[in-house]
Amino acid sequence: MNLYKIGKAVCSVIFYPLYRIKVIGKENIPKKGPVIICSNHISNFDPPVVGITNSRNIYFLAKEELFRKKVFGWILKNVHAFPIKRGMRDRDALRKGLQILKENHALGLFPEGTRQKSGKIGRGLAGIGFFALRSKAVVVPCAIIGPYEKFKPLKVVYGKPMDIETYREQKASAQEVTDHIMEEIRQLHKFHSE
């Protein structure tokens, strides 16, 4: 039983009509190779929405607390989520994320680390820049433009893959790379909100 495929199918049937999801830039997601999908974070529904709006199977980082409930933790693990301890450098989560990218999979990250209920885009955490610098992955910025309201359009916009190689060559800091990624997400959000 592939719980990821089942979950994706079920979420598609529910979310697409409920939130009238419009996907823009889906062609910007590489079909092969390591990729990091970086999105703003406005709702608990963001991970499944990012999951259903592209063709890649995405591995998501999720806060450790969500895995403590046995049944929910089991479900998360079987839909490619893995835990991270918030507020500290979690070496196990960093290693796991890099391994996923090394195996040419897609890693889904929400750089802000927590939901921004106001809808405004906050500052990203340096860990995202770490993944971008330490892997050979391309970064695809994603803007979710809400709010999540029944039968009102929700946009999911994927930007063009970002070239991180220049930052690697310049030995940029993880935070500098994260800030650059967040700026791309802001620009996508601004352009498609108008």
Domain boundaries, given as residue ranges, for the chain: 3-193
Using alpha carbons only, what angle is made at residue 82 by residues 165 and 186, rounded to the nearest 5 degrees? 45
Place of tokens 């330490």: 134
Range 3-193 has CATH code 3.30.2350.10: no
Answer whether the bond into residue 153 is a cis peptide, omega within 30°.
no
Residue-level pLDDT at 186:
96
**Can you list the positions of beta strands (E) in 13-137?**
21-24, 35-39, 58-63, 81-84, 106-109
Q: Name the pTM for this structure.
A: 0.91
User: Which residues make Cβ contacts (< 8 Å) with residue 25, sequence separation at least 6?
Assistant: 157, 158, 159, 160
Q: What pLDDT, on the 0 to 100 scale, is given for residue 84? A: 76
pLDDT of residue 29: 97
Do strands 58-63 and 106-109 pair parallel, antiparallel, or not at all (unpaired)? parallel
pLDDT along the chain (194 residues), means of 10: 86 96 97 96 94 94 80 80 71 90 96 83 90 94 94 96 90 94 96 86
φ, ψ for residue 165, nearest 5 deg = -55, -40
Which phi and psi (to 5°) does residue 109 adopt?
-130, 145
Q: Which two tokens stand for residue 37?
A: 């999908």
Q: Compute φ and ψ for 135, nearest 5 degrees.
A: -120, 175
The pair of structure tokens assigned to 54 is 């592209």
Report pLDDT for 163. Answer: 84
